[in-house]
A and B are shown apart, each in its own frame.
Chain A
Amino acid sequence: MNRYFSVIIITVIFISCKKEASDEFLLDLNNPLNDTTWKTNILADAPVNKIFEMLSTPSQTGSFDAKRDYSVHFNDYLQIKFSGNSCKGDGGESISGTVKVEVEYLKTRGDMIRFKRSTTSYDRILESGGAFNIKVTQNGRRLKLVPDKVMIIKYRNSKADQQMNVFYGDTTVNNLDNFTWVPADSQRINTWRDGSISGYELFCKRFNWINCDKFTDTTKPRTTVSAILPVNFTNNNTAVYLVFKDMLSVVRMYANVTNRLFYFDNVPANSKVTVVSISKIGDNIYLGTKEATITRNLVVKLSPDKKTKKEVDDYINSL
């Protein structure tokens, strides 16, 4: 009988022993989500730069005979007129034969984000009437415009503004995107109207980045706008934009590494904006948006959500 009781007692003790539950989480230090450091220098292969590679669209292409006057037509009623013998090589040599022209036409706010081109001239905000990146090549060699020749860009714009000027892109500056818009010296812009259709004619003395811009109203009071995001979203993986609703202006906000936020100064007060953040962490894309009216020292808090590339594309196109 004692044996029976021993078996029972041992069984009871065995069953009643409380087993320890555990809930452990081991951080994966190689996972980009765990990299929450803000960088002073953003490398070319940083995730934030991959965003734009991912979102960019292919350029339009055409060709013409370098010796003759030629008008090349592209989508969206874009027309570029080249004069004969207007192209030269890097060393100044004249070009003959067929040359290739590639055009990136930035006509929406989304295009400005997609091609990483803020409408700013240094820290001054510009209002754009459309921007272009024109590359002329022959056998892979980049060509230049002969100094006394002009290239005319004609396109449609429903709000053609005679205050607009030609701005060229400066890729030599040392800023966030290594880019800024600089006013052209003596080029002009014509507006045209054909019935209900209106547009611009830009007379350009350069290839590459060309913008139809004007500086925004400087009489309004200015303020600083800040955007803060969750800890995982840093300047190494996130780009934040101020997208103006009432004008074709898109401003990429700078990173304040010390305080872990994005900001931009000299934003016109009472402007209606959408603050947009696009992040790439690992293989995931995050999109954060918030609409706001600019008030004094506005701080906008964003909470990005994971999105697909198509969802981000669709949203950008809708801006």
Chain B
Amino acid sequence: MTDNQFDAFFRKKLVDYSSQVPGDMWQRIKQRKDKERRIIILLALLLLTVGGVTSYFVFSGKQQNKENITSSLEQSPRENDHFVNKDKIDAVIITQNDTDEKREINLLPENNIVVKNRADSDQENYTMHQNNKSVLNKPKENIKASNAAENNENGIKFSDPPLSKNTPDSLVSNSSSQVTSKPNEDISAKQVNQKKSLLQKDSLSKNEQSVGTNTITIKEPIINNLFLEVYFSPDIPISKTSSSNTAYLQHKDSTSQMQLSYTAGVKLGALLGRHILAKIGFQYSEINEQFNYTNENAVRTVPVVIQRLLADATGTIRVVLDTSNLMQAGTQYKLTYNHYKSIDVPILIGYETGSDRFKAAINTGVILNIKTSYSGDVLDASLNPVDIGLNNIYKSNTGVSLHLGLSLATRLNNSFQLFTEPYIRYRLSNMTGTYEPFKQKINVGGLSFGLRYNFKK
């Protein structure tokens, strides 16, 4: 008999066969679907909440920045006026930053100090402003060369009265086309590196600047940075199996061997303050396991069709086809690669520290399993290999895991960071069904590699 005849024989016999559906089948399916729907709704709510909170912080921070920018813009025309006035100043002071010796300029008697202002340069405008500040911040320094009264005497008038408060600045900014020092008067223009400190202070916007009667307060945003991480991790799974049946446990351990596995995912993170990290994302994990089964006393059944010729009492020959199972004894070798595929939501917090170039962070949190599917083989209670996906041997939702990792990152450029993170993932609950002859947890140790993109450069 050929294979086609064999197939045709079965096809003919089974073409109208239909198996009965258990009465509670739809009820079970509905219960499962309701459970999955509840999980999806909960996750969606969680994501919405986290997204909403994140958005609030992000956009409220942006709004604050906008207000600051607006305030700055309102302030800048005055300063520009101020600078315009300064542009009119012919006198230029030679700003000395290089050496301490040059910081103090002792103006000799009879010397006219001509300070040329490079009027078109913002930098120099800024410098002048800083110089004003520096003088403001150094009230005790010996500035004898000028004061407001003297400057006013020189007939210099400012359109912006509040700026006239910057009386010490008058040495530079309020000077007329010529600043004439009186003989024997010391003008000590001390320009220490306060310029730098002022720059920092300006950039950090921590100072309250009083301009006239307006007070502008610049707050530091709660979220200092938003970033997106894409990562991949080779994992080493560690299986922890227990069973009340010692013989089963021995066979299970001897047939199963964990293999190199992996995790890949994406996380959205935020830097809260200077050190605190918060991350949420999606990740796909695949735990691999080698199932190597040998049974030296195996019996398999093979369907066969036997054709027989039967002679009846009248001598007529009848052909009788009989389909039966042929049992064969031998040794069965079965090698299967089991895959435990999970989709998870990691929710992590961390503490980050380090320099601008290198950063280290410790991350911890929970990993919520959305769904896990299984393929491969596993030993049943009678020590025979069965499909791992059958009979709910493993749970489709394995619950919560704990994550602990140490992240090391290096800056590639303003936008990207390369990071690596050795981590462990500890499973809190068993993955197996209630009525299985064993209980199993698979913990994972891994080393992630990934790229972080900073939205705020």
User: Contacting A25 at CB < 8 Å: which of B298, B308, B420?
Assistant: B298
- B336 in the interface, Cβ–Cβ < 8 Å? yes
| Chain A residues numbered 250-270 whose CB sits less than 8 Å from any CB in chain B | 258-261, 265
Q: Mark A1-21, 1 if CB is under 8 A from B, else 0.
A: 100100110011011000101
Q: How many A-B residue pairs have CB under 8 A?
A: 100
A26 pairs with B331, CB closer than 8 A: yes
Q: A33-B299, A297-B313, A299-B310 are in contact. Are A25 and B331 (CB under 8 A)?
A: yes
- A36 in the interface, Cβ–Cβ < 8 Å? yes
User: Contacting B330 at CB < 8 Å: which of A8, A27, A224, A231?
Assistant: A27
- A141 in the interface, Cβ–Cβ < 8 Å? no
Give the residue name and chain of the B residue nearest to A32 (CB).
B329
Q: How far is the CA of A14 from the CA of B232 in the complex (A)?
A: 13
A24 → chain B, closest Cβ, in Å? 4
B449 pairs with A7, CB closer than 8 A: yes
B326 pairs with A232, CB closer than 8 A: yes
B337 pairs with A21, CB closer than 8 A: yes
Q: A1-B418, A260-B308, A297-B312 are in contact. Are A19 and B261 (CB under 8 A)?
A: no
B153 → chain A, closest Cβ, in Å? 65
Give the residue name and chain of the A residue nearest to B325 (CB).
A230
Report A-chain residues with C-beta under 8 Å of the C-beta of B322: 228, 301
Q: Mark B298-312, 1 if CB is under 8 A from A, else 0.
A: 111000101011101
By DSSP majority rule, is chain B's interface helix, strand, loop, or mixed?
A: strand
Report A-chain residues with C-beta under 8 Å of the C-beta of B335: 21-23
A230 pairs with B331, CB closer than 8 A: no
A23 pairs with B334, CB closer than 8 A: yes
Report A-chain residues with C-beta under 8 Å of the C-beta of B247: none
Number of interface residues, chain A, beta carbon within 8 A: 40
Q: How far is the CA of A293 from the CA of B234 in the complex (A)?
A: 69
User: Contacting A27 at CB < 8 Å: which of B234, B262, B324, B329?
Assistant: B329
Report A-chain residues with C-beta under 8 Å of the C-beta of B318: 297
Report B-chain residues with C-beta under 8 Å of the C-beta of A33: 299, 327-329
Q: How far is the CA of A259 from the CA of B32 in the complex (A)?
A: 54
B296 → chain A, closest Cβ, in Å? 8
User: Contacting A261 at CB < 8 Å: which of B300, B308, B326, B337?
Assistant: B308
Give the residue name and chain of the B residue nearest to A222 (CB).
B313
Report B-chain residues with C-beta under 8 Å of the C-beta of A12: 232, 262
B281 → chain A, closest Cβ, in Å? 18
Report B-chain residues with C-beta under 8 Å of the C-beta of A231: 304, 306, 324, 326
User: Contacting B324 at CB < 8 Å: which of A19, A226, A230?
Assistant: A230
Q: How far is the CA of A22 from the CA of B290 in the complex (A)?
A: 11
- A34 in the interface, Cβ–Cβ < 8 Å? yes
- B211 in the interface, Cβ–Cβ < 8 Å? no
Report A-chain residues with C-beta under 8 Å of the C-beta of B331: 25-26, 28
Give the residue name and chain of the B residue nearest to A36 (CB).
B326
B359 → chain A, closest Cβ, in Å? 16
B300 pairs with A25, CB closer than 8 A: yes
A317 → chain B, closest Cβ, in Å? 28
- B193 in the interface, Cβ–Cβ < 8 Å? no
Q: Most chain-A Cβ atoms within 10 A of its Cβ — which of B260, B306, B420?
A: B306
Q: Mark A26-68, 1 if CB is under 8 A from B, else 0.
A: 1110010110100000000000000000000000000000000
B27 → chain A, closest Cβ, in Å? 36
B308 pairs with A27, CB closer than 8 A: no
Report, as a range, how many residues of chain B touch the other chain.
Answer: 35 or more
B312 pairs with A296, CB closer than 8 A: yes
Give the residue name and chain of the B residue nearest to A302 (CB).
B324
Give the residue name and chain of the A residue nearest to B326 (CB).
A231
Q: Most chain-B Cβ atoms within 10 A of its Cβ — which of A14, A28, A229?
A: A28
- B455 in the interface, Cβ–Cβ < 8 Å? no
Give the residue name and chain of the A residue nearest to B311 (CB).
A224
A15 pairs with B260, CB closer than 8 A: yes
A31 pairs with B330, CB closer than 8 A: yes
Q: A34-B328, A224-B313 are in contact. Are A22 and B334 (CB under 8 A)?
A: yes
A15 → chain B, closest Cβ, in Å? 5
A223 pairs with B329, CB closer than 8 A: no
- B332 in the interface, Cβ–Cβ < 8 Å? yes
Q: How far is the CA of A36 from the CA of B327 in the complex (A)?
A: 10
Give the residue name and chain of the A residue nearest to B261 (CB).
A15
- B1 in the interface, Cβ–Cβ < 8 Å? no
- B412 in the interface, Cβ–Cβ < 8 Å? yes
Q: Most chain-B Cβ atoms within 10 A of its Cβ — which of A1, A33, A229, A230?
A: A230
Q: How far is the CA of A1 from the CA of B277 in the complex (A)?
A: 25
B326 pairs with A228, CB closer than 8 A: no
Report A-chain residues with C-beta under 8 Å of the C-beta of B312: 224, 296-297
- B358 in the interface, Cβ–Cβ < 8 Å? no
B125 → chain A, closest Cβ, in Å? 41
Report A-chain residues with C-beta under 8 Å of the C-beta of B262: 11-12, 15
Report B-chain residues with C-beta under 8 Å of the C-beta of A260: 306, 308
A297 pairs with B449, CB closer than 8 A: no
User: Contacting A299 at CB < 8 Å: which of B320, B325, B328?
Assistant: B320
**A-binding residues in B (CB < 8 A):** 232, 234, 260-262, 288, 298-300, 304, 306, 308-310, 312-313, 318, 320, 322, 324-337, 412, 418, 420, 449
Closest CB pairs A-B (n = 9): A31-B329, A33-B329, A230-B324, A259-B308, A27-B330, A231-B326, A24-B333, A297-B312, A28-B330
Q: Other CB < 8 Å A-B pairs besides A31-B330, A231-B324, 20 of them?
A: A1-B412, A4-B449, A11-B232, A11-B234, A12-B262, A14-B260, A15-B262, A22-B335, A23-B332, A25-B330, A26-B330, A27-B329, A224-B313, A226-B310, A228-B324, A230-B324, A231-B326, A260-B306, A296-B312, A303-B324
**B-binding residues in A (CB < 8 A):** 1, 4, 7-8, 11-12, 14-15, 19, 21-28, 31, 33-34, 36, 222-224, 226, 228-232, 258-261, 265, 296-297, 299, 301, 303
A to B CB contacts below 8 Å, 14 in the list = A11-B262, A12-B262, A22-B333, A24-B333, A25-B298, A27-B330, A33-B328, A34-B328, A224-B312, A228-B320, A228-B322, A229-B324, A230-B324, A261-B310
